[in-house]
Amino acid sequence: TQLLEQSPQFLSIQEGENLTVYCNSSSVFSSLQWYRQEPGEGPVLLVTVVTGGEVKKLKRLTFQFGDARKDSSLHITAAQPGDTGLYLCAGSTSGTYKYIFGTGTRLKVLA
Amino acid sequence: DSGVTQTPKHLITATGQRVTLRCSPRSGDLSVYWYQQSLDQGLQFLIQYYNGEERAKGNILERFSAQQFPDLHSELNLSSLELGDSALYFCASTLSSGGVYGYTFGSGTRLTVV
């Protein structure tokens, strides 16, 4: 069974701090996505990475796909209260039509 | 508004009952996915339909069933409900059969079984 583990599970930080969230698996993924979910809403896609070693930036968010395509990280610079939410990674292996979602990291940024 | 519509938003029902959750995909999307999200188990894939046909199955219980209609809306039927079925149920849609361009999620249906 494919499993995507995220760490940490919970993170509470002060506004302005930096943080990194990790997504790890023993499986090789053809692509990996990151989503943010706010309370009462569905997850919203932030980014898709497909190439090993790929780095993508979205304003203060930096996403990296591991060289072996088994892991990924999300780094947030100067976190703001609006970054609060549940961050989910999701990976797809070749030949499948569905993405497996990670266990999630619940981030709270305090003003 | 993501374009994916789920109804109802909240549902409270008793054990043993049957409920139907409805999802209208984003305009133009052919594929619909159902997910269950509970506090201790994250987002669990249940089932996928593409253009009316079942495409993939996840950890869906036999008490649960789904279908996608010719107008592409989908319904998830949950029967013989148990307390443990209480969760958020999300529908997501994509243009193609795979999610490579990302899933568009609805706002979910919160099911409470009492």
Q: Do A45 and B43 touch (CB under 8 A)?
A: no
Instruction: Pick the closest to residue A27 from A74, A89, A80, A82 (CA basis).
Output: A89
pLDDT by residue (tens digit) across B47-88? 999 999 999 899 899 999 999 999 999 999 999 999 999 999
Q: What is the pLDDT along chain A (111 residues), one digit of tens a residue?
A: 557 899 999 999 999 999 999 999 998 998 899 999 998 899 999 999 989 999 999 999 999 999 999 999 999 999 999 999 999 999 988 766 678 899 899 999 999
Q: Do B105 and A42 touch (CB under 8 A)?
A: yes
Which chain B residues are Cβ-neighbours of A96 within 8 angstroms? 56
Residue B108 pLDDT: 96
Coil, helix or strand for A103?
A: coil
Which chain A residues are Cβ-neighbours of B58 within 8 angstroms? 98
What are the φ/ψ torsions at residue B87 (nearest 5 degrees)?
A: -175, 175
Residue A95 pLDDT: 65
Q: Given pLDDT bands bounded at 50, 70 and 90, which one contains residue B99?
A: confident
Average pLDDT, chain B: 93
Q: Which CA distances in Å does A99 have to A17, A65, A95, B58, B81?
A: 31, 16, 11, 11, 27
Residue B60 pLDDT: 94
What helix, strand, coil percent values describe chain A, rounded to 5?
5, 50, 45
Position B39 pLDDT exceeds 80:
no
